[in-house]
Amino acid sequence: MNLQMYSEVIAAVAVLFYLTAILSAVEAIMRVRTAQGAIAWAISLLTVPYIALPCYWIFGRTKFEGYLEQKQEIERQTRQLLQRTHNALDDYLLDYPNDLPLYNSLYNLSRTPATRGNHVELLINGQATFDSILGGLETARRYILIEFYIIRDDDLGARFTRILSQKAQSGVKVFLLYDEIGSRNFHRTRMCKQLRQTGVRVAAFNTTQGHRNRFQLNFRNHRKIVVVDGEQAWVGGHNIGDEYLGLSKRHGFWRDTHLRLRGPAVLGTELAFATDWRWATRSPLDIQLRLESRPCGDANVLVFASDPASTMEEAGLMFHQVIVEARHRIWIASPYFVPDRGIISALQLAALRGVDVRLIIPDQPDGPVVGMANWAFTRELLPAGVKVYRYQGGFMHQKVLLMDNTVAGVGTANFDNRSFRLNFEITLLVHNAEFCDQVQTMLEEDINHSRRVTPQEIADKPPWFPLGMGIARLFAPIL
Which of 63, 119, 222, 238 is catalytic? The answer is 222
Q: How many CB atoms lie within 10 A of CB 39?
A: 13
List the catalytic residue out of 307, 397, 431, 446. 397
Q: Is 79 exposed, middle or buried (0-12, 13-18, 19+ CB in 10 A)?
A: exposed
Catalytic-labelled residue, pool 224, 238, 258, 320: 224
Length of the chain: 479
Q: Which one is catalytic: 179, 229, 276, 416? A: 229
Residue of 154, 242, 298, 404 with catalytic role: 404
Judge whether 63 counts as a catalytic residue. no
Let me know if 399 is a catalytic residue. Answer: yes
Q: For residue 434, give Cα distances in angstroms to 120, 145, 358.
A: 10, 29, 21
- Respond yes or no: is residue 229 known to be catalytic: yes
List alpha helices for 386-464, DSSP H.
417, 433-448, 455-459
Question: Which residues contact residue 174 at a Cβ distance below 8 angstroms, ignoring those fewer than 6 apart?
Answer: 143, 144, 146, 164, 167, 168, 199, 200, 201
Nearby residues of 338 by Cβ (< 8 Å), 6 or more positions away = 370, 373, 374, 377, 415, 416, 417, 418, 476, 479
SS3 165: helix
> Is 222 known to be catalytic?
yes
DSSP string, 16-83: HHHHHHHHHHHHHHHH-SSHHHHHHHHHHHHHSHHHHHHHIIIII--S-TTHHHHHHHHHHHHHHHHH
User: Is the separation of the CB atoms in 217 and 60 below 8 Å?
Assistant: no
CA 166 to chain centre: 30
* Catalytic, out of 363, 399, 416, 431: 399
Query: Catalytic site residues?
Result: 222, 224, 229, 397, 399, 404
